Amino acid sequence: MCDALGNEKGPKYQRLALGIEREIREGRLPTGTKLPAHRLLAHQLNITAGTVSRAYRELERLGLVSSRVGDGTYVKLNGEGPAGEEGFRNAISLDDSVVDLSRNKHIPGQDVALLGQALEAIARQPRVLAELSDYTPEGGLHRYREAGARWFRHSQVDVRPEQVLCTNGAQHALMACLPAIVKPGETVATEQLSYPGLISAARQLGIRLEGVEVDCDGLVPEALDDVCRNTRISVLYCTPTLQNPTTSNMPVARREALAAVCRKHNLIIIEDDAHGLLSTERPPALQVFAPERTLLISSLSKAVSAGLRVGYVQVPETLWNRLAGAIRASCWMATPLSLEVASQWILDGTADRLRLAQIEEVERRKAIVEPLLQGLNYHSRLDCSHFWIEIPEPWRAIEIEESLRQKRVLVKSSEAFAVGRRAVPQFIRASVSSTEADDQLEQGFQALVGALNDVPREDLLVRPEGLWW
């Protein structure tokens, strides 16, 4: 990189950024390459460390590198934009030769045939069709909210229909909650490794995110307390049940402690329970321990049908009008046709049967591939649709991700979930829910294990129970 300044005119930091960009795009600096430390490169090029810092920031703005405090600056995956954006796509155009282990998604089953039957039944009801063709209240018709209240029982929450707002899926619920309670430029606390949909939404809305330490039981209340004492925080977003990506289930005592910290600092809580619906053994939602300040999000997307795009938000009375206004501003009302189908399925028990079938299918698929992972350090739970697999030093997860991509197998590295600029623990998320056939699923995990077999076996020893990264 000694000639990285090139002969172009302009400020030195721009010339340096342009030179490194050229090296990346032409393949001479491949994915996972660690760039020289600021002072070392400054010495080599006879420029200031500040000039190198500005150049690296410009490359990060372009999505070409990723910088973490205490870890360094690395070339990112193919230079394809921010990691959080790359990790948050609802669908990927793939040919049959690509094995996709990168997404947690609903596994289609009986819901496909049942949807056809439900639509045929609706078509024979003129009064219902007339309702579906007109505007409805922003919160949804009463029977839709009644169904939503019943669906929240899976979160061990007892709510009235009047406390429920209907949305077009969980992501829409999140996009309504954030602008309703957070102003652009304000900061939301979340897990150090968090849902890419939150990262994307925050970027779109101009909201800052502050990562909070997590361990094997989820977000650490004492760490949140420290963050709140040093940073102005008004909202906490978290996933206490089947956390994505770490798979943790927060125990009751920690939920109580977390609720106490949120009361101490007057935080509003956005609790995402979309994955929690797949957990058959779970504590009550965090909302139970702080009902006066928690917005609880649920949906049918992971458990029943992804394409229906039906979600629900349980809202404290003091915030109901603000959330209703956010829904009006975003789409006026959630789609009545989808809500009609979902409500019928919830009220007649079809949705719960599909949810249990989804859990059984996840368990069946995991049983196929879990024996392949013996000897690796990974985290998962019975009803969780992915494995969180550690990549030992000196390897980086993004290198494994790129190596597998070249073999036409897609996984997600921890970079896609990282919040803040601290060093990222090196893990891969591999899901069992996004492939169609069992042989393809097994093929993908065999490729993943094969990539890790290049790592010295002494680095793959399983950690003692309870340790994290």
Residue 72's Cβ-count burial label (10 Å; 0-12, 13-18, 19+) is middle
Q: Distance between CA 435 and CA 101 in Å, rounded? A: 7
Rounded-to-integer distance, Cα 306 and Cα 104, Å? 11
Q: How far apart are CA 22 and CA 175, in angstroms?
A: 37
User: Count of CB atoms within 10 A of residue 19's CB?
Assistant: 19
* Torsion angle (degrees, nearest 10) of CA 363, 285, 239, 213: -120
Written as one letter, the residue type at 363 is E
Domains and CATH numbers, the chain: 12-79 (1.10.10.10), 83-108+353-460 (3.90.1150.10), 111-351 (3.40.640.10)
Per-residue pLDDT of the chain (469 residues; tens, 9 = 90+): 556 676 666 788 888 888 888 888 877 888 878 888 888 888 888 889 888 888 888 888 787 887 776 678 888 755 444 444 445 555 555 667 889 999 999 999 999 999 999 999 999 999 999 999 999 999 999 999 999 999 999 999 999 999 999 999 999 999 999 999 999 999 999 999 999 999 999 999 999 999 999 999 999 999 999 999 999 999 999 999 999 999 999 999 999 999 999 999 999 999 999 999 999 889 999 999 999 999 999 999 999 998 999 999 999 999 999 999 999 999 999 999 999 999 999 999 999 999 999 999 999 999 999 999 998 999 999 889 999 999 987 788 888 898 898 889 999 999 899 998 777 889 999 999 999 899 999 999 999 999 988 655 444 444 444 444 4
CB distance 467 to 427 below 8 Å:
no
How far apart, in whole angstroms, are the C-alpha atoms of residue 164 and residue 317?
A: 10
- Separation of alpha carbons 238 and 210, rounded Å: 12
pTM beyond cutoff 0.85: no
